[in-house]
Amino acid sequence: DIQMTQSPASLSASVGDRVTITCRASQSISTYLNWYQQKPGKAPKLLMYTASTLQSGVPSRFSGSGSGTDFTLTISSLQPEDFATYYCQQSDSAPRTFGQGTKLEIK
């Protein structure tokens, strides 16, 4: 199985900050990397797929980059609605594993 490791596990930031979350795969996954946002009690929401393609309706302050084994999700200017948990997922091969999550909290 491909292991996905996110860092940091948690992050405190303020509205307006720029934040970056990192996801590392245990082997190359090309650009088959997806990012999700989850708020408490809700289903996850797709933010980004194939590492850098913004899902329809997602604000442009979200961006993604990377290929191979190292990927990043960046939020350019945090908004109050962005405080949530973020997960990466590889869709290169089954099982399509998720990272353990990064909880983004208000400072």
Partner 1 sequence: QVQLVQSGAEVKKPGASVKVSCKASGYTFTSYDINWVRQATGQGLEWMGWMNPYSGRTVYAPKFQDRVTMTRDTSVSTAYMEVSSLRSEDTAVYYCARGLTRVAALDYWGQGTLVTVSS
Q: Which residues bind partner 1 (CB under 8 A)?
A: 1, 32, 34, 36, 38, 43-46, 49-50, 55, 87, 89, 91, 94-101
CB-nearer residue toward partner 1: 6 or 69: 6
CB-nearer residue toward partner 1: 10 or 77: 10
Say which DSSP state 92 is in.
S
Q: How far is the CB of 15 from partner 1 (least distance, A)?
A: 26
- Residue whose tokens read 């970056």: 20
Q: How far is the CB of 43 from partner 1 (least distance, A)?
A: 4
Write out the E strands in the chain: 4-7, 10-13, 19-25, 33-38, 45-49, 53-54, 62-67, 70-75, 85-90, 102-106
Which tokens sit at 48?
């980004």
CB-nearer residue toward partner 1: 17 or 98: 98
